[in-house]
C-alpha cells in the first residue's frame, strides 16, 4: 500500500494550532483514499530499548534534566554541525498501551522519531543555511514512506522519495510587522525549501499567488488544495436545547445572544479593532473572546485592559478566556449570534469555515484568503476600518433575517470544502509527483 509520512512538529503542542488541525485532517483524508499514514516526531529524549517507552516519550510531560552550561554549549555545537550531514528516524509501532491526551493521538498506522529533530534542523539552517537530510531506518513492521509531506516549510529534506511542502501563508513577508522572526532568514529558508521541493501545496489562491510571485516558483509546481473542515460527529450531536443549557450553566449566556471571537492574540487577528468596534457599535449582546496571548500583543489588548480596569457596564459585557476545550468551543460557536473574524490577513481562515459549518453567521474581512473561504456567505469588511466593523456588528445584532440568511448560505459554502473535495485536490497534488493510492516507491 502507498504510504505518506507527515511531520508531527505541531501535533505535540499542548494547545492545538491551525497547522496541527491541518495535519490531522490531512492524515484522515489520505487514509480515506486508501493511503497508509505515518507521522514523524522530534521528541526531546533519545531512543530507548522499549517500543512502549519510545511511544510514551512522544507525549512525555517531563523534559530531560538540564545539563551544565559548558557541556550544553559543546553538545549543541556538535549537534548543529552533524545535522547538516543527516539524521536517521527510528520506527515506533503504536502499542495500544499508551493513553494519549484527548485528541492528540494522530490517525496514523506507524510513527517515526528523531531526537530534537525540529530544534536541531532549525539551528543547522540558521548556522549553515542547509536543510537537514533525513533517512528512515525501516523494518519489516514499519516500511519507509513513499512520500514525505511536510505540513509547513521546515528545514528538512528526505532524500529518496518525493518531498511535498505546504505553505500556509507568507505573512512574515506580506505583514512583517505582525511577526517577530528574522525576515531575511525566513526568506532564505522559504527559497531553499521551495527550490528543493518536488511539489508545493498551498491552502488558498491568495497563498498560491504569493508563493509564485515572491518565491519565484513555477505555478505548475504549486497545487491549491484548500482545507477541509471535519467536525467530529460528537460535537454536532447535542441538540440545540442541550447546548443552550450548557452555555447558560457554564457562562451565563443565552442561545444566540452573544458575539464570539477566537484565535491567538497576535496583531494579524486584529483584536484591538474588534474590541474598539464592538464598543463603538453600542450593542448590548456580550462579546466572548477566546485566545491566549502570543507575540506583539500589547497594542491588541491595550483597550481591553483599560476597559477591564475601569469596570462598569462595558467590562461586564466582555468575557475573556485564554483557552477552551474543543467540545466547549464548538458549543460556543453553535450558540453565538455571530463569529467576528476580521483578520488583517489569513492564508486560509479556518475559524470562518468552522463557524459556517456549525450554522453561525460570520463577519470577516478582505484580508488574504478570507473572501475565498467566505464566498457570499458572510459579511466582509475592511479590517482596518473600525466603523465598518462596527456597522457589521450592529447589522448582525439587529437583523434576524440577515443572520438566518447567512447561516443558510454558510452551510452551503462550507459544503464546498467537504472531505471528499479535499481528498480529490490532495490526490491531484500527489499525482503531480507520481504518487497515487496504487503506486509504490522503494
What average pLDDT does the chain have?
Answer: 91
Task: Tell me the pLDDT band of 54, cut-offs 50, 70 and 90.
Answer: very high
Per-residue pLDDT at 102: 78
Q: Is 5 helix (H, G, I), strand (E, B) or coil?
A: strand
Q: Is 45 helix (H, G, I), strand (E, B) or coil?
A: coil
Which among 112, 99, 118 has a CA at the least distance from the CA of 61?
A: 99
Domain 233-416, classified CATH 3.40.50.2000, yes or no = yes
Which among 311, 279, 286, 284 has a CA at the least distance from the CA of 386?
A: 279
What single-letter DSSP state applies at residue 394? Answer: H
> pLDDT tens for residues 352-392?
999 999 999 999 999 999 999 999 999 999 999 999 999 99
Domain parsing of the chain, residue ranges: 3-228+420-431, 233-416
> pLDDT tens for residues 181-238?
999 999 999 999 999 999 999 999 999 999 999 999 999 999 999 999 877 666 666 6
Strands 36-41 and 222-224: unpaired
Taking the C-alpha atoms of residue 10 and residue 26, their distance in angstroms, rounded to an integer, is 13
Residues 6+ apart with CB under 8 A from 327: 234, 235
What residue has cell string 528526505?
158
Taking the C-alpha atoms of residue 370 and residue 380, their distance in angstroms, rounded to an integer, is 9
Strands 36-41 and 110-113: parallel
Domains 3-228+420-431 and 233-416 belong to one CATH topology: yes
Q: To 10 degrees, what angle do helices 386-398 and 400-415 make? A: 100
Task: Tell me the pLDDT band of 442, cut-offs 50, 70 and 90.
Answer: very low
Strands 338-341 and 110-113: unpaired
Taking the C-alpha atoms of residue 397 and residue 31, their distance in angstroms, rounded to an integer, is 42
pLDDT above 70 coverage of the chain, percent: 94
CATH code reported for the domain at 3-228+420-431? 3.40.50
Mean per-residue pLDDT, 254-261:
97
Amino acid at each position: 500500500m502507498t504510504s505518506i509520512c507527515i511531520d508531527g512538529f505541531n501535533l505535540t503542542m499542548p494547545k492545538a494550532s491551525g497547522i496541527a488541525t491541518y495535519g490531522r485532517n490531512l492524515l484522515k483524508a489520505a487514509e480515506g483514499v486508501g493511503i497508509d499514514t505515518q507521522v514523524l516526531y522530534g521528541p526531546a529524549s533519545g531512543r530507548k530499548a522499549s517500543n512502549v517507552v519510545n511511544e510514551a516519550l512522544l507525549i512525555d510531560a517531563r523534559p530531560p534534566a538540564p545539563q551544565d552550561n559548558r557541556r550544553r554549549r559543546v553538545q549543541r555545537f556538535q549537534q548543529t554541525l552533524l545535522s547538516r550531514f543527516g539524521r536517521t528516524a527510528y520506527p515506533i509501532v503504536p502499542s495500544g498501551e499508551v493513553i494519549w491526551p484527548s485528541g492528540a493521538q494522530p490517525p496514523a498506522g506507524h510513527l517515526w522519531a528523531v531526537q530534537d529533530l525540529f530544534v536541531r534542523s532549525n539551528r543547522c539552517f540558521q548556522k549553515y543555511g542547509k536543510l537537514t537530510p533525513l533517512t528512515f531506518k525501516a523494518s519489516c513492521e514499519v516500511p519507509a514512506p513513499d512520500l514525505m509531506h511536510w505540513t509547513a516549510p521546515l528545514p528538512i529534506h528526505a532524500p529518496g522519495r518525493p518531498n511535498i511542502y505546504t505553505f500556509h501563508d507568507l505573512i512574515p513577508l506580506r505583514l512583517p510587522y505582525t511577526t517577530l522572526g528574522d525576515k531575511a532568514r525566513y526568506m532564505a529558508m522559504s527559497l531553499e525549501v521551495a527550490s528543493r521541493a518536488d511539489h508545493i501545496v498551498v491552502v488558498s489562491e491568495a497563498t498560491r499567488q504569493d508563493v509564485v510571485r515572491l518565491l519565484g516558483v513555477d505555478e505548475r509546481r504549486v497545487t491549491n488544495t484548500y482545507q477541509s473542515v471535519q467536525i467530529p460527529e460528537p460535537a454536532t450531536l447535542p441538540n440545540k436545547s442541550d447546548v443552550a443549557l450548557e452555555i447558560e450553566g457554564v457562562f451565563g449566556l443565552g442561545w444566540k445572544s452573544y458575539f464570539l471571537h477566537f484565535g491567538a492574540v497576535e496583531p494579524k487577528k486584529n483584536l484591538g479593532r474588534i474590541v474598539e468596534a464592538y464598543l463603538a457599535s453600542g450593542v448590548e449582546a456580550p462579546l466572548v473572546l477566546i485566545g491566549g496571548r502570543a507575540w506583539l500583543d500589547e497594542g491588541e489588548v491595550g483597550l481591553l485592559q483599560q476597559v477591564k480596569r475601569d469596570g462598569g457596564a462595558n467590562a461586564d459585557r466582555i468575557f475573556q478566556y485564554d483557552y477552551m476545550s474543543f467540545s466547549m468551543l464548538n458549543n460556543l460557536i453553535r450558540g453565538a449570534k455571530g463569529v467576528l473574524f476580521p483578520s488583517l490577513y489569513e492564508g486560509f481562515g479556518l475559524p470562518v469555515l468552522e463557524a459556517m459549518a456549525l450554522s453561525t453567521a460570520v463577519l470577516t474581512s478582505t484580508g488574504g484568503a478570507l473572501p475565498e473561504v467566505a464566498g457570499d456567505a458572510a459579511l466582509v469588511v475592511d479590517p482596518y476600518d473600525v466603523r465598518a466593523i462596527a456597522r457589521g456588528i450592529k447589522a448582525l445584532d439587529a437583523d434576524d433575517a440577515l443572520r438566518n440568511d447567512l447561516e443558510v448560505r454558510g452551510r452551503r459554502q462550507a459544503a464546498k470544502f467537504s472531505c471528499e473535495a479535499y481528498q480529490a485536490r490532495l490526490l491531484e497534488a500527489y499525482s503531480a509527483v507520481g504518487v497515487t493510492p496504487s503506486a509504490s516507491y522503494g
